[in-house]
């Protein structure tokens, strides 16, 4: 049997982050060796607390949590926090008791670079929030890009509107400068954008099935999902929720759930379209050199087997 893939989840929990973390713990193909935290759905301090709490719920306090950056890569402290999507506590306003555990001494950046150095080529980073920690790892250790196996990130809106505004998807908007560093770093980067995740919907009927099951994770998730469903109903008029983070996690579990195009992604870091991801799919050979020329290619997911993703999410969360 092949060894499970070693995964570090960089996360801002977050309701769909909670789903992705539980899904990861239920997936024999991967081994979660740590969580690193970042602002996004909540501020970083609360993201850390929630990560510790979720591991306690799962009975997996053996997994270390390393706290990430409290500011953007350009030292910005005016952070966008999406508490209106996930509740003020990030987990559906359930007022869970505080976690007993503590984050490790190492920062997220040091944890990422250290693990990549210890297991060269073997670590997959699944990045589910703004990309500050990953960009800091790239900047702080010149060997990180060579050492890391793969970076699978939830971010961008490829040829569709964003979800913060027409230009930008939330994780990229959270730190566009960091995102541009990650996209152009030369590592094996796979981007799952909302062009993909908006096709993967957990319906009201799916939620009812989760609620009716006896699974530890499905029961917990049904408590926190209410807030997420009502946001989606108001914002998109959908009877269901988008599975952003779980879909991205499953790209690490089974890459064949999606198809990918290769090319160069740059991120707009200023102006009204700050956070816009622009993909050069290499179909056209441009006459002059431009800001995409000579940059390393990444993979961008372009199609997804949405029913298969939803089925895997349901099966694994109910079987807990
Ligand atoms: Ca997230």
pLDDT for residue 111: 98
pLDDT for residue 87: 84
Between the CA of 20 and the centroid of ligand 1 the distance, in Å, is 9
Whether the Cβ atoms of residue 257 and residue 250 lie closer than 8 Å to each other: yes
What's the rounded Cα separation, in Å, for the pair 252 and 115? 18
Q: For the chain, first and last CA: distance in Å?
A: 23
**Longest alpha-carbon distance in the chain:** 60
With cut-offs at 50, 70 and 90, classify the pLDDT of residue 26.
very high
Question: Per-residue pLDDT tens for 50-65?
Answer: 999 999 999 999 999 9
How much of the chain, in percent, has pLDDT values that exceed 90?
82
Of 53-62, 95-104, 160-169, least confident by mean pLDDT is 95-104
Between the CA of 80 and the centroid of ligand 1 the distance, in Å, is 13
pLDDT for residue 1: 58
With cut-offs at 50, 70 and 90, classify the pLDDT of residue 92.
confident
What amino acid positions are annotated as catalytic residues?
12, 244
C-alpha of 14 from chain center: 10
The chain-wide mean pLDDT, for the chain, equals 95
Between the CA of 208 and the centroid of ligand 1 the distance, in Å, is 23
Mean pLDDT confidence for 76-102: 86
How much of the chain, in percent, has pLDDT values that exceed 70?
100
Between the CA of 118 and the centroid of ligand 1 the distance, in Å, is 26
With cut-offs at 50, 70 and 90, classify the pLDDT of residue 278.
very high
In terms of residues, how long is the chain?
A: 320
List CB contacts of 28: < 8 A, sequence separation 6 or more.
4
Mean pLDDT confidence for 250-257: 98
Residues linked to residue 267 through DSSP beta bridges, in sequence order: 277
104 pLDDT exceeds 90?
yes
Phi, psi of 7 (to 5 degrees): -120, 135
Between the CA of 239 and the centroid of ligand 1 the distance, in Å, is 21
Highest mean pLDDT among 62-66, 215-219, 282-286: 62-66
Between the CA of 112 and the centroid of ligand 1 the distance, in Å, is 18
Between the CA of 127 and the centroid of ligand 1 the distance, in Å, is 8
With cut-offs at 50, 70 and 90, classify the pLDDT of residue 94.
confident
Per residue, the 3-state secondary structure of 169-187, as one string, reads CHHHHHCHHHHHHHHCCCC
Whether the Cβ atoms of residue 129 and residue 11 lie closer than 8 Å to each other: yes
Between the CA of 186 and the centroid of ligand 1 the distance, in Å, is 23
pLDDT for residue 83: 78
Residues linked to residue 262 through DSSP beta bridges, in sequence order: 299
pLDDT for residue 85: 84
Query: 5-318: CATH homologous superfamily?
Result: Ribonucleoside hydrolase-like (3.90.245.10)
Bond before 14 cis per omega within 30 degrees: yes
């Amino acid at each position: 049997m092949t060894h499970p893939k070693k995964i570090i989840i960089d996360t801002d929990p977050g309701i769909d982050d909670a789903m992705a973390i539980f899904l990861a713990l239920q997936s024999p193909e991967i081994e979660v060796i740590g969580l690193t935290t970042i602002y996004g759905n909540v501020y970083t301090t609360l993201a850390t607390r929630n990560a510790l709490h979720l591991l306690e719920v799962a009975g997996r306090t053996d997994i270390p949590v390393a706290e990430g950056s409290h500011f953007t890569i350009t030292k910005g402290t005016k952070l966008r926090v999406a508490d209106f999507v996930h509740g003020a506590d990030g987990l559906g306003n359930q007022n869970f008791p505080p976690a007993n555990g503590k984050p490790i001494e190492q920062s997220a950046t040091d944890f990422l670079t250290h693990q990549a150095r210890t297991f060269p080529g073997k670590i997959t980073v699944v990045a589910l929030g703004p990309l500050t920690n990953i960009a800091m790892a790239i900047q702080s250790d010149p060997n990180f890009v060579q050492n890391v196996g793969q970076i699978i990130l939830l971010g961008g809106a490829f040829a569709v509107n964003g979800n913060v505004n027409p230009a930008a998807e939330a994780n990229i908007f959270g730190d566009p400068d960091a995102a541009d560093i990650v996209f152009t770093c030369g590592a094996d980067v796979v981007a799952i954008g909302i062009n993909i995740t908006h096709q993967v919907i957990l319906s009201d009927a799916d939620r009812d099935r989760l609620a009716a099951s006896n699974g530890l994770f499905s029961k917990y998730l049904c408590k926190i999902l209410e807030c997420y469903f009502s946001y989606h109903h108001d914002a998109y008029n959908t009877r269901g929720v988008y599975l952003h983070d779980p879909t991205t996690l499953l790209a690490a579990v089974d890459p064949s759930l999606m198809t990918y195009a290769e090319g160069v992604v740059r991120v707009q870091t200023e102006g009204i379209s700050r956070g816009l991801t622009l993909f050069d799919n290499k179909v056209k050979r441009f006459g002059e050199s431009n800001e995409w020329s000579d940059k390393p290619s990444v993979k961008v997911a372009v199609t997804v087997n949405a029913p298969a993703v939803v089925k895997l999410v349901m099966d694994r969360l109910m079987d807990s």
